[in-house]
Amino acid sequence: MSGTVESLKWSVDSDGIIGHLIESQNGTLSAAVKELIMNLVDKGSTKCEITLRDDYFSVVDNGIGFVDREDVENHFGCFGKRHEEGDAVYGRFRIGRGQIMSLAKVTWHSHEFKMTADYKKNSGGYELEVNQNEYVDGCTVYGQLYNVLTSWDFKNTVDEIKTFTKYMDVEVVLNGSILNSSITDVKWDYEDDDVMIKWEPKRQGCGVFVYSKGVFVKEISSYIYGLDSDVVTKKTLVLNMARNEIAESDPTWGKITTLLKAEAVRRAKHSKRKISEAQRLSLINQIICGDYPLSEAMDLKLFKDSRGVTFSFSAFKDRLFPITMSPNNHPLADHIASSKSATVFDVRELSRWGVTCCEEFLNLLADLFMSEMALCDKQTRRDSGYYLRRIREIRVVAYEKLCKGISSDLKILKTKELSDRDKAARNAIQCAANIMSKRISNILNINVHKRKILIGESQIAHGWTDGETYIAISRDALSFLDAGRYGMNQMALLLLHEYCHDESDVGSHEHAEYFFSKYHDLTMTMDKSAELIGHVASSLEGDYRTQLSKSLLSVPKFCDADPYAMSSDVFILNGKGRLSPFVKKLLECGREANLLDYNKKGKRLTLVSKTSKHFPLVEFLSNMMAEDGIDLPFFDYDSASARIVNNASSLDHHEHMDLIREEYKASVGILIEGWAYEHGHCPKAACEVINSLFSRYSCGAQHLKQVILNDSKTDVAYSESVGEHYKTPVFETDKIKVDYYMPTNIIGERWNCTVSRDELASSKAERVQFVVNSLKNVIGVLKDNDEKRKVLELITSASFVDSIVD
């Protein structure tokens, strides 16, 4: 037996549905005000004056208002009444006015009618007052907000109203300021019968703002089209009731999306390889959907590995190594990618391609080329076929397998595990790190604490930090310091990188937004006195050399690699750490002539030579002597030549000239020596300066260093330039290298050994004595008994003595 079937009509619980309409639309004050503005445009208003306070608002229009009681009851008093086709530009659902009712006690005052809705007190209806004495033109809507706006909400509301009404064809004034300009004044980049588009590249990353007949609807993330623009339709779009979504079926919207996609592709092609992240993601979407063929994007850097390095399909297909998928921010991923063991895609990147593993990814790429092959011409088909084969050749390796061989341990080494060279490097890096923390504090205007430098061992990281107290540098990375300026810069960058981590980077290589902004601010400073990397790198270079020479270790080769580079030398002063007036004067002269700079802090004198070419020490010296009333005679070539001509000896011209020069030098030397003694300068040092008159090359910074070292009044202990030019080690153990040809004056200072280099060269006895004395002192310097024993063994061996003494 079949049951009875009835046809029934829907019914509505009017209280319930009206409650939803009032309470459950958009919910923000700006959106509610937007509704009021759309209504007044529908009623022929040309102007809209808004007043907004934290607890009150009003919207005044000059439209036709509510014309009679019937209009009030039918259109204000009734929700959901259908519109006649074409009777309104925006009005559609007859519910929009409900939005403001949930936020305020509101009155619509138009002509003699005042309708007040106080939803909180009377959710079921409104009060109508008819009073001819309070007649207004148009319609004024005003109300007391149920919740007072915070200053934050107030600002947002103002900003949003501004955005919402940007392209509306009505003048909107908010608290006395005009918010929008006439739409006819805008210069559109694209316009047809349906839509106007303005590209806004400067708004980078903000995305596409869609306006339905001038009223803001929604913002489309820049990741969808990789574009930033305002799109304004000429007709209203078909929207949902909250007016923040567009119906997919709307033909104008279909047309707009096609235009945006085409523009995205056009721009990507135009920008060749360089595409923004937003463009990349937008193109990936188009490629996956089949809207844009991958074969046309061969050179665009669409792929991104776990390090954030982007590359094109052209590069990808030629890679000989396999691919793998890593978890996001996995600490070993960087290492695997950098060592080219595999191309590492992280989970996040693969999800952007809509896949969950490498196999699916390769299948996707293969499918894309296959579908392209089905559609295109012979040549493209051939290309796609080739790409397809390449994809099939790409191997996939399990990430765990790649990780197996790599230890992710980050080990901190104990001091006793460090070599002297490691220690020297650590101490130098510590000085550099201290300078860095100070500079960072100054640049960012915050107190950045010093972090202790530790040396560690790691297969996966050059450096790591707990974000607060220490920075560990892997022992492998210390070799940066022996790699010249590049290495110093690299180490400075590594330190900066670690200083930018405010939290521990152990266990993750993720860099949060704050990291990048800090890194950016610190590297982009244009204030010379706050410059970071160059400053830290050059201090590091000086400190490293000082630390090495303190430990009697050889300085790296790069030190004299470029004779014209700026070089800095550090002298550690003895005793009270004084410089003699003589040396001071020479330094000042050099500084005035902009040939050098120096800086003396306590017992530390740093000499920076800006040139290693000839610099006129002689002139400085003769000026100094002139101040004391002694004029140095010039070497007069003309009279010297005349003397040679007159002299009928068997010597040739050159030999003659040499003799005359020697004579001249001796006479000048007497003058200088007398002056130097009198003024407490080292005569030898002063004479050296004048001797340089005859030797262009020794008259540069190198020469000045020797003068500083020789000047008896200057308390110089040693210079870090030890060994710079004399590289043959005489003996060597694990920890120490001693250079036989070190300038003897330095050796003399350090090891109380008074012997000149010439004497060493000429006398075997002197040489033996020198070596023995030096080595005794070296052994004295050594703290480690093992080390002492090794040196002793070494120097007592017959082969060693032979090698030195001969």
Ligand X SMILES: Nc1ncnc2c1ncn2[C@@H]1O[C@H](COP(=O)(O)OP(=O)(O)OP(=O)(O)O)[C@@H](O)[C@H]1O
Q: Tokens standing for 55?
A: 């607890």
- 3-class DSSP state of 743: coil
Asked if 542 is part of the footprint of ligand X (rule: CB under 6 A), the reply reads: no
Q: Which residues pair with 604 in a beta bridge?
A: 572, 601
Asked if 278 is part of the footprint of ligand X (rule: CB under 6 A), the reply reads: no
Asked if 91 is part of the footprint of Mg ion (rule: CB under 5 A), the reply reads: yes
* Binder of residue 643, out of Mg ion, ligand X, none (CB less than 5 to 8 A by kind): none
DSSP for 222-276 reads HHHHS--EEEEESSPPPB-TTS-SB-TT-HHHHHHHHHHHHHHHHHHHHTTT---
Query: In this chain, which stretch among 94-102, 646-654, 706-714, 792-800 interacts with ligand X, using CB under 6 A?
Result: 94-102
Asked if 542 is part of the footprint of Mg ion (rule: CB under 5 A), the reply reads: no
* Binder of residue 757, out of Mg ion, ligand X, none (CB less than 5 to 8 A by kind): none
User: Cβ neighbours of residue 468 under 8 Å, at least 6 residues apart?
Assistant: 449, 451, 502
Q: Which residues pair with 196 in a beta bridge?
A: 191, 232
Asked if 47 is part of the footprint of ligand X (rule: CB under 6 A), the reply reads: no
Of the pair 92, 788, the CB lying nearest ligand X is at: 92
Query: In this chain, which stretch among 36-44, 129-137, 352-360, 480-488 interacts with ligand X, using CB under 6 A?
Result: 36-44
Q: Which residues pair with 346 in a beta bridge?
A: 326
The Cβ-side half-sphere exposure at 537, using a 13 Å CA radius, reads 19
Question: Least CB distance from residue 139 to Mg ion, whole Å?
Answer: 12
Asked if 92 is part of the footprint of ligand X (rule: CB under 6 A), the reply reads: yes
Asked if 40 is part of the footprint of ligand X (rule: CB under 6 A), the reply reads: yes
Residue of 37, 48, 76, 537 that binds ligand X (CB under 6 A) = 76
Of the pair 141, 496, the CB lying nearest ligand X is at: 141
Asked if 65 is part of the footprint of ligand X (rule: CB under 6 A), the reply reads: yes
Residue of 34, 50, 57, 61 that binds ligand X (CB under 6 A) = 61
Rounded CA gap, 384 and 723, in Å? 63
> Whose CA is closest to 230, among 198, 256, 188, 184?
198
Contact set for Mg ion, span 94-153 (CB under 5 A): 96
Contact set for ligand X, span 498-517 (CB under 6 A): none
Of the pair 139, 300, the CB lying nearest ligand X is at: 139
Asked if 39 is part of the footprint of Mg ion (rule: CB under 5 A), the reply reads: yes
Q: Which residue has the tokens 């107190």?
A: 447
Query: In this chain, which stretch among 33-41, 284-292, 303-311, 529-537 interacts with Mg ion, using CB under 5 A?
Result: 33-41
Q: Mapped to the 3 state alphabet, what secondary structure does 746-794 carry?
A: HHHHHHCCCCCHHHHHHCHHHHHHHHHHHHHHHHHHCCCHHHHHHHHHH
Buried b (16+ CB within 10 A) or exposed e, 6-20: eeeeeeeeeeeebbe
- 3-class DSSP state of 707: helix
Of the pair 39, 157, the CB lying nearest Mg ion is at: 39
Which amino acid does the sequence have at 429?
I
Element (DSSP H or E) covering residue 198: strand 195-199
Residue of 75, 234, 535, 656 that binds ligand X (CB under 6 A) = 75
* Binder of residue 63, out of Mg ion, ligand X, none (CB less than 5 to 8 A by kind): ligand X
Encoded one letter per residue, x for contact with ligand X by CB under 6 A and - for no contact, window 125-154 reads --------------x---------------
Which amino acid does the sequence have at 783?
K
Under DSSP, the state recorded for 76 is: I
Q: CA geometry: angle at 468 spanning 465 and 473, to 5°?
A: 25
* 459 within 8 A of 479, measured Cβ to Cβ: no
Q: Which residue is nearest to ligand X (CB)?
A: 96
Rounded CA gap, 188 and 204, in Å? 18
* Binder of residue 591, out of ligand X, Mg ion, none (CB less than 5 to 8 A by kind): none
* Binder of residue 683, out of ligand X, Mg ion, none (CB less than 5 to 8 A by kind): none
Q: Tokens standing for 567?
A: 């070089």
Asked if 66 is part of the footprint of ligand X (rule: CB under 6 A), the reply reads: yes
Rounded CA gap, 24 and 39, in Å? 19
Please work out the total of residues on this chain that contact Mg ion, with binding judged by CB under 5 A. Answer: 3
Please work out the total of residues on this chain that contact ligand X, with binding judged by CB under 6 A. Answer: 21
> Whose CA is closest to 146, among 18, 63, 32?
32
Residue of 54, 77, 93, 726 that binds ligand X (CB under 6 A) = 93
Contact set for ligand X, span 98-117 (CB under 6 A): 110
Question: Least CB distance from residue 91 to ligand X, whole Å?
Answer: 3
Query: In this chain, which stretch among 90-98, 167-175, 442-450, 638-646 interacts with ligand X, using CB under 6 A?
Result: 90-98
Q: Tokens standing for 781?
A: 């310097």
Of the pair 21, 747, the CB lying nearest Mg ion is at: 21
DSSP for 10-32 reads ----HHHHHHHHHHSS---HHHH
Asked if 43 is part of the footprint of ligand X (rule: CB under 6 A), the reply reads: yes
Chain residues in the site for Mg ion (CB under 5 A) = 39, 91, 96
Chain residues in the site for ligand X (CB under 6 A) = 35, 39-40, 42-43, 61, 63, 65-66, 75-76, 88, 91-97, 110, 139
